[in-house]
Each structure stands twice: as C-alpha cells, then as structure tokens.
Amino acid sequence: MSIPERAFASYHLWSLVAPAVGQQRWHCQMRRGFVKARQGESEVKALLTHATASQRIGLLAQKGVYEFHYNRHLLNQADGVEQVAQLLKLSNSTHEVQHRVRQILQKYHESPLLLGKSILQLTRGDEGFPKPILIQQEDYAFRLYATMDCIFLDSDRSETIHILDFKTGKSPFDERQALVYILAARYLYPAYQAVASFYNLELCKKSEIITVTKSQLDSLELELAHIAEKHQEDLKKYYQQASNFSKIFPPNPGYHCRFCPFNSICEFSTFKSSQ
Ligand code: SF4
C-alpha cells in the first residue's frame, strides 16, 4: 500500500471518518469535509473557532485540574476552588459555564483523582497540536497525532503507564480514543506497557481500564493507515475539483443537523441556526 506523503491519522479523524458504535444514523461525512478540507475558508474558520459552552466547560475543567496539581497546596486550602476559579478567570464566562465549572472544581477539590500518582504528563488542554509521531512500516507510513490529557505511572502494574482522558458532559466514552493513545504510547514510551481509561469530572465516573494486546495494536495501526490514506485521497480529489465537495464528502441530513456547527452554511441542512 502506498501512502501519500502528508497522510495523517488521529482519533478526531477516525471519529469523522467512521461513527462510534450506535451512532451510525447520525454520522455525516460532509462534516469531515468542512473540518478537514474547507477549514481555511473564512466562514468555516469562524464556525470552527466559535467554541460551544460544552467545549468551553471541557477546556476549563482540564485547566482547573492542571492548576490544582501545578499549585498542589491549593488542594489542601479551604479556598482552593476559589483560587483556581480566579486563575481560570471564570468570571469572564457565561453563567452556565461558571456554574458547571465551579461544581467540577468543587468535586475535584474534594476527591482529587491524581493525588499521590506519579504524573509523567499533565496538559492544560490549550497547548494546540501535539508533535506528530511518524509511523513507518514496510507497507505504510503516516503521522499520528495524539493529545493526551494525563499520563501517570500505574501503581498496580510494574513498567506500565496509565493514560487518562478527562471528560465532561454526558457523551459516552469512545474506546477508540483510548486505543489511539495506547498506540501513541507504543512509540513515545517504548519501555513501558500502556493502559488507558476515561474519567468524567462532572459525574465523577471512571471507565473500565482499557488494555490492548500487541496483535490488536498492529491491526489498529493498519486500520489507521487505511483511514489516513482514504482521507488523503479524498482531500486530493477535493483540491482537484472543489465542485465535487458533496460527492467526495456525502451529506447525511436529518434531525442531527440541528446540532451540527455547519448547519448555517450547509446547503443540505434540514435546520438553519438562524431559524
Ligand atoms: S448540517 Fe447536516 S448534512 Fe450538513 S454537514 Fe451538518 S450534519 Fe451533515
């Protein structure tokens, strides 16, 4: 299999190419077209940079956890939540965002999941694109992007790192994200085994710990190589003939258009946000 030079894969791309289990009816390839092919257009750019309340809550929650561990004494102080809220400039946010983030900070202050763990990496969440990992095998090559919220040494298993992804809101955990992180860890931390899990900061809910065998990781890598290649081919077709946008990235309109960030500019949308 020959892979175009610029081929890349990430969990985000995987989620745009293929739906999560149970989400098939709502999956729309045209969204991938807007996000990955037309992201440079001013209208699309504006829609992509307009963070929703849920995205803002997720980002502030992640930053909050980071601040608690960067300023560890705040976890023991009675006004620790207030101090982190100030560091986050929470008062600049809407009432809903302030309310939900404050609750998250309160819960984390009461029960800090990472306290006592040997943390190898904890991100603020606003660092931007991570450095790509070049995956090169005999039959394929692609760049893998994986932004991991937190990595710590697993105290229950020797020579094992635990990759933790923080969540907010009610969306179910998508195991594929954990699989991509474990694959990334194979290259970034080759001396360690890796496991992964999710933690919902609003619901204080942990997922099961996800483990993968070597042969499962090999298959996953190959699947991501195929996704990278297919996406690169689609982009090439689009740049050759932009008028074929809806053929290359077919729309799947329906009730879910109501929640699509592109409904105001998508000619196939069953819902217009200005309605
Ligand atoms: S508005 Fe509907 S059809 Fe258009 S991209 Fe979004 S989900 Fe797809």
Please tell me if the CB atom of residue 44 comes closer than 6 angstroms to any atom of ligand 1: no
Report the pLDDT value the prediction gives residue 74, as an integer from 0 to 100. 96
Report the pLDDT value the prediction gives residue 274, as an integer from 0 to 100. 54
Report the pLDDT value the prediction gives residue 155, as an integer from 0 to 100. 85
Residue nearest to atom 3 of ligand 1 (CA): 253
Report the pLDDT value the prediction gives residue 17, as an integer from 0 to 100. 95
- Nearest-angstrom CA–CA distance, 203 and 167: 9
Whole-angstrom Cα Rg for the chain: 20
Sequence length of the chain is 275
DSSP 256: G
Which residue from 24, 255, 262, 270 has its CB within 8 A of the most atoms of ligand 1, so it is best to mutate? 262
Residue 257 CB partners (closer than 8 Å, separation 6+): 263, 266, 268, 269, 270, 271
Distance from residue 172's CA to the centre of ligand 1 (Å): 21
Find the mean pLDDT for residues 87-107.
Answer: 95
Q: Which atom of ligand 1 is nearest to the CA of 269?
A: 1
Estimate to the nearest angstrom the gap between the alpha carbon of 15 and the chain centroid: 9
How much of the chain, in percent, has pLDDT values that exceed 70?
97
Report the pLDDT value the prediction gives residue 50, as an integer from 0 to 100. 78
Q: Which residue has the higher pLDDT, 249 or 128?
A: 249
Distance from residue 109's CA to the centre of ligand 1 (Å): 40
Per-residue confidence band for 275, with pLDDT thresholds at 50, 70 and 90: very low
Per-residue confidence band for 3, with pLDDT thresholds at 50, 70 and 90: very low
pLDDT (tens digit per residue) in 18-60: 998 888 899 999 999 999 999 999 999 999 887 788 889 999 9
Per-residue confidence band for 273, with pLDDT thresholds at 50, 70 and 90: low
Taken in order 238, 243, 244, 249, is the CA torsion positive or negative?
Answer: positive
Distance from residue 268's CA to the centre of ligand 1 (Å): 6
Beta-sheet strands, E only, within the chain? 8-10, 118-122, 133-136, 141-145, 150-153, 160-167, 193-200, 205-206
The SS3 of residue 167 is strand
Query: Pairing mode, if any, of strands 150-153 and 118-122?
Result: antiparallel
Q: Please, which contacts does 204-212 make with residues 24 or more away whose CB atoms are closer than 8 Å? A: 204/107, 204/111, 207/173, 207/178, 209/162, 210/175, 210/178, 210/179, 210/182, 212/179, 212/182
DSSP 33: I
Query: Which residues are 145's β-sheet partners?
Result: 10
Report the pLDDT value the prediction gives residue 183, as an integer from 0 to 100. 98
Which residue from 16, 30, 48 has its CB within 8 A of the most atoms of ligand 1, so it is best to mutate? 30
What is the average pLDDT value for the chain, to the nearest integer?
93
- Nearest-angstrom CA–CA distance, 29 and 19: 10
Q: Which atom of ligand 1 is nearest to the CA of 29?
A: 8
Find, among 139, 142, 148, the residue nearest to 227 by Cα: 142
Distance from residue 220's CA to the centre of ligand 1 (Å): 28
- Nearest-angstrom CA–CA distance, 262 and 259: 9
pLDDT (tens digit per residue) in 190-234: 999 999 999 999 999 999 999 999 999 999 999 999 999 999 999
Distance from residue 32's CA to the centre of ligand 1 (Å): 10
Q: Are 194 and 184 in contact (CB under 8 A)?
A: no
Which residue from 48, 268, 272 has its CB within 8 A of the most atoms of ligand 1, so it is best to mutate? 268
Please tell me if the CB atom of residue 256 comes closer than 6 angstroms to any atom of ligand 1: yes
Find the mean pLDDT for residues 68-96.
Answer: 95
Per-residue confidence band for 106, with pLDDT thresholds at 50, 70 and 90: very high
Distance from residue 120's CA to the centre of ligand 1 (Å): 40
- What's the token pair of residue 38? 């037309």
Per-residue confidence band for 63, with pLDDT thresholds at 50, 70 and 90: very high
Q: Which atom of ligand 1 is nearest to the CA of 251?
A: 3
Report the pLDDT value the prediction gives residue 2, as an integer from 0 to 100. 47
Please tell me if the CB atom of residue 268 comes closer than 6 angstroms to any atom of ligand 1: yes
